[in-house]
Structures are given as C-alpha cells and as structure tokens.
Structure 1
Amino acid sequence: MNVVPEPLPGGPALAQAFLRGDEKVSHLFGGSYQHESTRQERAAWLDSQSDSRVDRSRLTEVLRSYNAKFNHHEAVRRSLELLEQPETLVISGGQQSGLFTGPLLVIYKIITTITAAREASEELGRPVVPLFWIAGEDHDWDEVNHTYVLDRSGEVVKLKIEAEETGRSPVSYIPVGEESFARPLEQLGELLQESEFKQEIMELASNAARQGSMTSAFAEMIGALFGRFGLILLDSADPALRALEKPLFRALIEKNDDLEASYHKTADDIFSGGHELQADVAAGGANLFYIHEGMRLLLVKKDGRFTDRKGHVAFSKEELLELLEGHPERFSNNVLTRPLMHEYLLPVLATVLGQGEISYWGITGRAFAELGMKMPPILPRMSYTVVEGTLHKHMEKYGLTFEDVLVGLEEKKRSWLEAQDELQLGRKFAEVKASFASMYDPLIEEIGTVQAGLLKLGAANKEKILDQIDFLEGKVVSAMAKQSEAALRQWERIECSLMPLGRLQERVYNVTYYLNKYGLSWLEHLLELPADYSGTHRVLYM
C-alpha cells in the first residue's frame, strides 16, 4: 500500500480550528494529544483521581460478562485483566452499531484506537488498553439499520434490515431475529465476488445475524475482527453498567441547572467565535433521556419539573432521584452528558473522535469542570480512501487526481469526450450555427419591412432551425459517447468507488467488500501503517 496525504476541504469550522491548533478554541478542549507533555500530564492526573471513578473491579466484572458473549478472545481476557490493575489506562473510541459493522469509518476509528493504545503503552511504560464504546442506548433505528456495498459491476447497493415499528427504543433493546437478517445476508452473498476469503466473510456475517439485536450483531462481528488485538467492547445500554453509573447520574440530576448553564456559556463562546454548534443546546434542556414504556424520551425542565416535550412523563427532582435509585436502567445520556459518563467509568488517556464529534465535545469543557473532571485529550480518528490498483490505473490513464474526484468529474469527463472528437464536429456545428445566424438575421430584418408580423415569425423560424441543428448535434454526441461507452464506465467506476452518493467512501461503504478481496490480514496492514493523528485524510493506493 502506498499512502498519500490528501487534506480535505471543508468540515466543521470548530473542529478544523482545533486541528490547526488555533489558540482561540484550544481552551474548549482537553489539550492536544500530539504533545507528549499532554499525555504525561493526563496520566499523572488520572492516577491522582482514581478514587473519583467507578471501582475498577466492578467495571471489569461487567465488561467480562459482556465480552464473554460476543468478544471472547484470549487477548481481550488479557486486556481486561490489565484494566483491573490501577496503573492501566484506556484509549477509547465509540460509535453506534451498524449493519455488518456499518461504514468504513467505524473500522478506521477502531484502527486508530488500537494503534494509539499500543504506542501509548510503549511511550509511558505502562499498560494502555483499547476500548470501543458501542452507543447502544441511541434510538435512531434508521441510522443503523442499513449499509452500502460496492457490487461486482461497481454500483452502490444498499442493504437494509426491515423491522417492525421500533418507536424510540434504544437500539440495543430492539429484537432483531435471524429472519430479519436473511435478506441482507442473501444480498451480501450475491454482491460479493467469488474469492478465497468469501466463505470466511459470510460466516462472520451469518454468526452476527444470530445474536438477537443490531447491537449484539455488531459486537459479535467487531469482536471477530478485532478481539485478537485486545479490543474491549462496551455497550452503553448494558443494564449491568447502568447500576455502576448511578452516582454520576445522581450528580447530573442534582447539578442539572449548573450543568445547563455551563453548556450555554460555552455555546455562547463558540457562537461569538464565529463557529456553529454541532449539538443542540436548548433552553431548559436536562441533557438526559428517560426510558418510559420502551420509549427513550429526552427530558426538559418546565415549571420546576423534569418532563418530555409531549408530556408522557413528569417528575420532580426528588422523584427522579428516587427512580434512579430503583431503576438506573431507565436513564440514558445524551451527546453532551455521555462524555462525562465516559470519564466517570474509564481512566481515559485519550478519546478517538471524528470531526463532528470533536465539535460537540467542545461544548462540554465547562461541564467537566463543574463535576471536578477534566476533558481527556482528543485524538482525531484516522481517515482513509482506498484506491484499488485497477482504479488507480484508470485515474492515471485519464489524468485524474483524488482532488478531481472530490469536486466532481462531470466537467473533466465532458472535456475528455470533446477531445475524442477527432473530426472536430463540435467546432463545425458551432461554425454552422454561427454562419446560419449571420446570414439569417439580415433576412429577418428585411422581411420585417414587408409586414410587421413577419419579423416575429422569422425569429421563431430561426429558433426552430437552430433547435434542429442542436438536436442533430445531440444525436452525434450520443453516438460518440456510445463509442466511448467502455471508457465512460471506467469514469463512473472511479467516481462510484471513491465518492459514492457524493460522499466520502469511508462514510458509505461497508468493510466486507475489502475483506472479501484482500482478506482479514488487510486489517493488520492498516494497523502497520504509520499513525497520523493530525486529522489529515489519506489515500491508500493498493
């Protein structure tokens, strides 16, 4: 693999400013992971605050139980044994679950997490384990029930789990039986070309389909791919975990007004700095969810009570605290309180985030301080586009760069097609139309002197003749395009592979296509690539 940095234009302005090291936004975050002193200081601070986090032995007991179901590897067992020891730190990343692991960016986030943990352990001379936080408490079923695969002919195909109405239930609580996975599995088998690795990939997907929910299927498949590297999995919707989280939920309820004020203050700072917010900071927002009759309801504060916007539930602060004591499984974080829970549970040396996540974490800095915590250093996830060998040859053949593909190929393609016009018919058609107009316009003026109505008729007649010339030219262009049909398919394959649906490849395609082509060892090759925590996009030329 040849790796070439290709910085991307755009992205959330706040995240871009953070990645540039802009001092105007640096106070919003927990320090740059790029600086060795930041890592050393963070490790020392975590050691000094060990009593303020959840008990390690209780946490590892919960994680052992969960990983035994879906991620039972010897390397995971060793990671959990290390996590129980007071000197062990964590590099964490997280994402919602997704069909057959979801988009490639999930894979790259895990690669970043594992790589960073290895490097940090060597640098600090102490154990650092990788952990992946599955956001199973999230309730947006439509975000996780599908994935996209590049088929044999180079087309984008959507695979989707059809399920009954899920309401607003956390994804981890939605039952998804094997019968629901049957059609996507069948499609996957049809789409993947025959290879020496196909049977293994299909077995991984089939095993995942038997786990009973989308989150469990995701955990099974991620465990099969990455458990051998010691990656610990955590489901944020795990009821056993909720029991450990009670003390922080209590603090989030008791100090809710202060926390809300801290979020608004930071949001104002971000706005005044000319940046947009990536998460909603609503007036009266409690930044907590309550699960009522299977529905995950966002709580707001109204008339001194905690309620949801449609009035399904309403509690005083005392009632909410009493419910927490007896039913912690009914409580759930939102995007602004999840980072705080993350910090309470784990000795996090750094957290791996994408640019959108960096932007909303920027809102939480004062909230960390409000609870006596410090935001962990942010480690931008590594970002890639894979360019296969044949595709690279096509790009070189037509003189195309990755940047060309990013901005769109229509103009380049049109120019290339025009260059194939060896008879210069495009120029000749233009000359004919110009010549016709130069002869016909004076004639129209003259006939207008015969009768006023003839001027309008002559102009309409001219447009009809030009339309007919354009029609003929279009037919000629279509005939030429047909002659170049094979080449145009190559152009389409380039765009479809690298910018499917007009989006970055890593945000659309599933990893199974690449594992089927290159085998599970492809993940090891990714882990061997030089680490880059600058947030710079890189292109992998296979």
Structure 2
Amino acid sequence: MEVDCIPFKDTGYFSKLICDYLDQREDLGPFFNRFPELENFRDQIKEKEANYPETNRAILVNALTAQYNGFEVSESTANHIQQLADKKTFTVVTGHQLNLFTGPLYFLYKIISTINLTKQLKERYKEYEFVPIYWMATEDHDFDEINYFNFKGQKVQWTKEASGAVGRFDTKKLDDVFETFSASLGNTGFANELKSLFKKAYLGHSNLADATRYLANELFGAYGLVIVDGDDAALKKLLVPFAKQDIFENLPFKKVSESIDNLARVSSDYTIQVNPREINYFYLQDGLRERIIEKDGVFEVNNTEIRFSQQDLQQELDAHPERFSPNVIARPLYQEVILPNLCYIGGGGELAYWLELKSYFEAMNIAFPCLLLRNSALIMSKKQAKKIENLDLKITDLFLGQHSFINKKIREISNIDIDFSPQKQLLEEQFLNLYQLAEETDKTFLGAVKAQEVKQKKGLDALEKRLLQAQKRKLKDHVIRMTDMQNELFPNQSLQERQLNFSELYLELGPGLIPALMKSLSPLSNSFTLLKTT
C-alpha cells in the first residue's frame, strides 16, 4: 500500500480535547502521565516495575492458560503468555467490545497499533519483552451496540432476546446470520475463506466470548496477540481491595468528579465523555448485570429484589469476586491492576475518559499508563485514487462535511466568483459610518441601523446561496461525481473505519490485508493515515 498522512486535527473528526492532548497542551499535563514517545517508555517501565506486584504474574499466567484451554495457540502467543511470568516483561493493551464479526474496521487498527508498538518497544529496549494484549469487553451488556456489522451498505444483524454480560451469550440463531451473510458474499476464493472463518468462530463455539477469542486469534495469533477475558474469578480476586474502596468509600466518584471539574476549567469546549457513579460496579450473574446502589446503608441491585447489608456485601465480594463487574470508570483500573501494562491504545472517545482518571489511579496507588490514540486510516483503491485525481479533488477536502465540500469545490471550478466576502466587508465598513452618525445625532437610531445591517447581510447571504445553487445546477454532473466519490470513502458521511467491516476489504485483498496494514500503520505517527492499495 502507498502511505500518506494528514494531522488528526485537519480531519475535523477529532475533538478539541484529543487534539489538545496530541499537541501536549501544557495545562493538560496533570491529566496524563507520560506522552507516548519511545524515549518516555524507559521511565514508564521503571514506574510499572516498581508498582506491579510480582505475585500477580503467576495468577495472570495461570488464568490466561486456563482461558486458552481448547483453543489452538500459536507458538508466539504461547511464548508471550509464559513470558508474562518474568518481571522483565510488560504489556501494551487495547480493548474492544465483542462486535459481531469484528464490527467496524477500526477493530483491526486498534490491535495492529498494539502489536506494532510492542515491536518498536522491543527494538528500543532489547533487555525487556513486550506483549500485545486485546482485552475483550465480555462484561458489557449493551447488546444493541454489538449485534451487527455493515456489509456493502447493508446491516447484517443478529436478533435475539438478550440480557446480562454479552460474553456469556449463547450463539444460537447465528446460523441464520451466517446464511444471510454467506448469500451476500458470493463464491470467490476469498469469499469462501470469510464464510469458513465466520462459521468456525460463531457456529463452532457456544458463547460469544469464545467465538470472539477464536476470531481474533485466527486473525492475529501469528503475531503473538494475547487475548484477555476479564470475566474471570481468579483475576477479579486481585480487584477486591480496590472494589471495596469504590463501593464503601466512593473514592473514584470523588476523584473523577474533581478531575472533570478541573478539565472544564482548562477549556469549556471539552466534552466530558463519562461521569462517575457513587458506586462503579454492577452485580453480575447469568442473565443479569445491574448496578449496585446504596440507600440508607442498604446495598440494592437495581431492578431486582437482591439486597445486602454492608457486612453481607463485603462477605459476598470476598467469597464471589466474579459476581462484581466494573463499569467504564472502574474497568481501566482493573486492567492496570492485573496486567504489567505500560500503555493503553484506544480511540478518541476512550482516551477522553482515560484523561479523567489519573488522580483516581494516584489515590489507588496504581501506575497510570501512557495513552496512545490508535491508528486511523482511510483506504482507497487505485481506481478510486485515479477518480479523485481526474476530478481534481484534494484528499483533505473529502473530510469536509458534504455541504461545505460541494460549496468549496463549486467556488474553485466556477467561471464566476461566488464569494461575497469582499461585499460583506465593504458593507460593514459603510455601516460603521452610519453607527457613528447615529451616535452623534440620536442614539435611539442605533437599533434601527443594526436592524438594517442585519437585513442587508441576510440579503447578501441569500443571493450568494441562490447563485451557488444555480452553479450547482450548471455543474450537476461534476457535483454528482464528487459526492459519489465522497460517499464511497465516507459512507453515511462518517469515517470509513466506523462503517466498513474488514470483510469488504478482505474480498479484494484476501489474507494479504492484515500484513499490508501491519506494514503501513505506524502507531507513533501522531497522524491520520491515507492508504492506497496497489
């Protein structure tokens, strides 16, 4: 693939908070630990080495060995699991929901960013080992977010009655989804490979967690990816002391609330991604994942008749840690407690809520990881790139909203200048004189002058809009071809990676897709990647 890139902030698809973070805005310093640059990982390693209990390693290795029981494990993954027992081994982590057949394309970008960073770290710090981790969000309970993927503009959807943690969902009725998807694929060689992959993952495993592990393992096992399921009693036992501070002392609620207030002081333009609850844990059983709420000293499981006194809940937590599920605030801490982790790789929304958590980690005495924005990419075929060239389009213009994109291009190719900015500026200068005249004669006329200025500006805007519409009609064919191209690369006027499933690209590139992406995506590039297939 041919590789080019543009700054994230030039795409218009990333929040001000994330763009400021990437620019390492000075007053955001209190909200992150070390910026993810290779030279900064030396101190991150030393901090995590001192902060991570060596006894946790044996527990982690035993849990992972058990989780992989019954799965074919690559030599690289098996080595990585065993290396985690050594105090010189550290991890890089990404996490994602259990979306059907990987869901959107950026699932691949997350994992590839993670694997590639471990390679770069190994080249720089040869005395250490680095393991790429995919954390499966098996305890999420929003089935509607994960029960489909898009294929050629159509939604392939799994319909079933579901409640509780998604990783425990049985895979019944996925044979219907397979038949629908299979019919859409056709019978080319690469199509048959996709059919086999879907069938072995979802029809060959009894629950969604195992199906997702199989799928991710098939796609990335050769690169040594280690897949972690947090829905594990042995691992959750390590979380118990921290869960008690959350449930009985509300420490995360206090610390994260303070951080949110402090972020708002840095900039009122920052959108808060998540808000903490007084208790950031769910009660978890088969078919049940409901919030724990405290009312007058009694701990209730929301929407159930389950009640605990404080003493009984403490005993339940000690005896059955697997029944307690961290929410979006507590889950990052859980991850960092059980893993010797250096860096978390996520999308813009994820990093936005991680930036709320540093003071909470400090209060819990857990090392805060580096935060790295995952790779983002726009992939275009050679044919699409040629069309863009023939239409004389700039790639950066394709990132504009469609209305702005069309208007900008119409102005560029029009044989008349449809930009009334000079006229508007001249009008403003003329009205300055009128304001001055009203001020000197009768101030009560200032409102009338303002009304006249607004009226005339609106008239210019309306005329400009009508002329643009007229030019669009004259250049209708060009506009259609432009918008068709933008719609191809930005389906539903959104980033390609948020809409496409990897299967569409696999039909074209086959097994070469992931190696090509591995070669083309650089995790520390700090830019949006443009890829052209060759």
TM-score (norm 1): 0.80
Residue number among 253, 278, 299 corresponding to 2:273 in the alignment? 278
Aligned to 1:29: 32
Query: Is 1:523 aligned to 2:523, yes or no?
Result: no
Whether contact under 8 Å (2:103, 2:501) holds in the other structure is yes
Q: CA RMSD in A?
A: 3.0
Residue number among 12, 19, 23 corresponding to 2:22 in the alignment? 19
Cα distance, 1:321 vs structure 2: 1.3
Whether contact under 8 Å (2:491, 2:499) holds in the other structure is yes
Cα distance, 1:376 vs structure 2: 0.7
Aligned to 1:305: 298
DSSP 3-state at the match of 1:94: strand
Whether contact under 8 Å (2:281, 2:326) holds in the other structure is yes
- Distance in 2 (CA, whole Å) between partners of 1:96 and 1:147 is 13
Amino acid at match of 1:278: Q
1:101–1:19 Cα change, 3 Å: same
Amino acid at match of 1:536: S
Cα distance, 1:413 vs structure 2: 5.9
Query: Is 1:9 aligned to 2:12, yes or no?
Result: yes
Whether contact under 8 Å (1:394, 1:490) holds in the other structure is no
The residue correspondences of 1:192-231 to structure 2 (distance < 5 A) are 192=185, 194-210=187-203, 211-231=205-225
Aligned to 2:427: none
- Distance in 2 (CA, whole Å) between partners of 1:218 and 1:79 is 20
1:207–1:128 Cα change, 3 Å: same
Query: Is 1:86 aligned to 2:87, yes or no?
Result: yes
Which of 4-13 and 488-497 deviates more? 488-497
Aligned to 1:127: 129
1:415–1:186 Cα change, 3 Å: farther
1:280–1:106 Cα change, 3 Å: same
Which of 22-31 and 7-16 deviates more? 7-16
DSSP 3-state at the match of 1:84: coil
- Distance in 2 (CA, whole Å) between partners of 1:269 and 1:138 is 29
The residue correspondences of 1:412-451 to structure 2 (distance < 5 A) are none
Query: Is 1:157 aligned to 2:151, yes or no?
Result: no
Aligned to 2:76: 75
- Distance in 1 (CA, whole Å) between partners of 2:412 and 2:65 is 64
Once the two structures are superposed, what CA deviation does each residue of 1:426-445 show, in whole Å capped at 9, x if it has no partner? xxxxxxxxxxxxxxxxxxxx
- Distance in 2 (CA, whole Å) between partners of 1:65 and 1:140 is 27
Once the two structures are superposed, what CA deviation does each residue of 1:6-48 show, in whole Å capped at 9, x if it has no partner? 3322523322221110111121112101151x21111112222
Once the two structures are superposed, what CA deviation does each residue of 1:62-82 show, in whole Å capped at 9, x if it has no partner? 112222344522221111111
Aligned to 1:501: 492
Cα distance, 1:129 vs structure 2: 0.7
Amino acid at match of 1:496: N
Whether contact under 8 Å (2:257, 2:275) holds in the other structure is no
Aligned to 2:453: none
DSSP 3-state at the match of 2:156: strand
The residue correspondences of 1:111-190 to structure 2 (distance < 5 A) are 111-125=112-126, 126-150=128-152, 156-164=153-161, 166-167=162-163, 169-177=164-172, 180-190=173-183
Whether contact under 8 Å (2:259, 2:357) holds in the other structure is yes
Query: Is 1:44 aligned to 2:35, yes or no?
Result: no
Whether contact under 8 Å (2:402, 2:493) holds in the other structure is no
Amino acid at match of 2:2: N
- Distance in 2 (CA, whole Å) between partners of 1:77 and 1:350 is 22
Aligned to 2:463: none
Once the two structures are superposed, what CA deviation does each residue of 1:336-355 show, in whole Å capped at 9, x if it has no partner? 11111111100001111211
Aligned to 1:352: 345
Cα distance, 1:495 vs structure 2: 2.8
- Distance in 1 (CA, whole Å) between partners of 2:371 and 2:411 is 49
1:333–1:202 Cα change, 3 Å: same
Aligned to 1:448: none
- Distance in 1 (CA, whole Å) between partners of 2:29 and 2:133 is 26
Cα distance, 1:395 vs structure 2: 1.5
- Distance in 1 (CA, whole Å) between partners of 2:47 and 2:332 is 17
- Distance in 1 (CA, whole Å) between partners of 2:125 and 2:275 is 38
1:133–1:352 Cα change, 3 Å: same
- Distance in 2 (CA, whole Å) between partners of 1:77 and 1:293 is 30
Amino acid at match of 2:76: A
- Distance in 1 (CA, whole Å) between partners of 2:12 and 2:408 is 24
1:351–1:414 Cα change, 3 Å: closer
Rg bigger for which structure?
A: 1
- Distance in 1 (CA, whole Å) between partners of 2:410 and 2:259 is 53
Whether contact under 8 Å (2:282, 2:292) holds in the other structure is yes
Query: Is 1:242 aligned to 2:236, yes or no?
Result: yes
- Distance in 1 (CA, whole Å) between partners of 2:38 and 2:497 is 28
1:413–1:189 Cα change, 3 Å: farther
DSSP 3-state at the match of 2:31: coil
1:417–1:257 Cα change, 3 Å: closer
Aligned to 2:428: none
Equivalent pairs: percent with the same residue?
A: 25
Once the two structures are superposed, what CA deviation does each residue of 1:311-332 show, in whole Å capped at 9, x if it has no partner? 6444333222111122222101
DSSP 3-state at the match of 1:407: coil
1:39–1:71 Cα change, 3 Å: farther
DSSP 3-state at the match of 1:55: helix
Query: Is 1:375 aligned to 2:375, yes or no?
Result: no
- Distance in 1 (CA, whole Å) between partners of 2:523 and 2:281 is 35
Which of 188-197 and 105-114 deviates more? 188-197
TM-score (norm 2): 0.82
Cα distance, 1:417 vs structure 2: 9.8
Cα distance, 1:160 vs structure 2: 0.6
Which of 366-375 and 400-409 deviates more? 400-409
Amino acid at match of 2:271: E
Which of 127-136 and 70-79 deviates more? 70-79
Amino acid at match of 2:90: L
Whether contact under 8 Å (1:368, 1:375) holds in the other structure is yes
Cα distance, 1:310 vs structure 2: 4.6
Aligned to 2:250: 257
Whether contact under 8 Å (2:147, 2:158) holds in the other structure is yes
- Distance in 1 (CA, whole Å) between partners of 2:484 and 2:274 is 36
Give the aligned length. Answer: 474
- Distance in 2 (CA, whole Å) between partners of 1:396 and 1:409 is 18
Structure 1 unmatched ranges of 5 or more: 151-155, 423-472
1:496–1:186 Cα change, 3 Å: farther
Query: Is 1:386 aligned to 2:379, yes or no?
Result: yes
DSSP 3-state at the match of 2:88: coil
Structure 2 unmatched ranges of 5 or more: 416-468
